[in-house]
Amino acid sequence: MDKKRIEKAIREILEAIGENPDREGLIDTPKRIANMYEEIFSGLKEDPQEHLEVYFQQEQHEELVLVKDIPFYSMCEHHLVPFFGKCHVGYIPKKGKLTGLSKLARVVETVARRPQLQERLTTMIADAIMEKLSPHGVIVVVEAEHMCMTMRGVKKPGSQTITSAVRGLFNKDAKARAEAMALINLGK
Ligand SMILES: Nc1nc2c(ncn2[C@@H]2O[C@H](COP(=O)(O)OP(=O)(O)OP(=O)(O)O)[C@@H](O)[C@H]2O)c(=O)[nH]1
Ligand SMILES: [Zn+2]
């Protein structure tokens, strides 16, 4: 990532909005933002599939594995302000092709840490798991609040956007899908 270029651009923005980028409080702001962008856009240099190490296990678990309430922060690609919330990721492994539970959360991090759309974030998670683990099915549900809808524009704080992506068995089998959704909504 070209941090020097980000610093220059932020200085330019500060001047353009009529601020003095050399005043005490702002002098280090371009550098801080460059460091922050390196962190929050770090997913751009990663492939979500690279996290999905496959463990071939002796024990055959061909039932639902669901990690729910994975918190995430991403940046809306239209306004470059945050959208954030929770991801629920479930899959039914096939032929012992399991992955580590934390790896599912790592996939979420990789796709969240880039300029993003909620729909694309959701499908990227489902597709990465589908392609790398070839499971019976994948279900991903994302609930998020978009700052571009709350602090500006239409100004609807508290509104939640829910997206889902279902693949494989969850697509065909309404009962399996309903069971996974019931577990996702459990305790709400
Ligand atoms: N589908 C989708 N839309 C998004 C997402 N994040 C932000 N948006 C929307 O992107 C749209 C951009 O609309 P534009 O009309 O180009 O921009 P704008 O004039 O700033 O729009 P307003 O937000 O309505 O003021 C808005 O409707 C946003 O709510 C997202 O993750 N998915
Ligand atoms: Zn936006």
Please choose, from the candidates 90, 99, 109, 89, the residue with its C-alpha nearest in 3D space to the C-alpha of residue 48. Answer: 109
Residue 124, pLDDT score: 98
Average pLDDT across the chain, whole number:
96
Domains and CATH numbers, the chain: 3-40 (1.10.286.10), 48-185 (3.30.1130.10)
Alpha carbon of 150 to ligand 1 centroid (Å): 12
Residue 101, pLDDT score: 95
Q: Which residues are annotated as a binding site for Zn(2+)?
A: 76, 79, 148
Residue 68, pLDDT score: 97
The pLDDT tens digits for 157-188 are: 999 999 999 999 999 999 999 999 999 999 88
Look up the ipTM and state it.
0.90
Q: Which residues surround ligand 2, an ion (CB under 5 A)?
A: 76, 78-79, 148
**What pTM, to 2 d.p., does this model score?**
0.94
| pLDDT of 54 above 90 | no
Please choose, from the candidates 170, 184, 167, the residue with its C-alpha nearest in 3D space to the C-alpha of residue 67. Answer: 184
Q: Please state the rounded mean pLDDT for residues 17-41.
A: 98
Alpha carbon of 135 to ligand 2 centroid (Å): 33
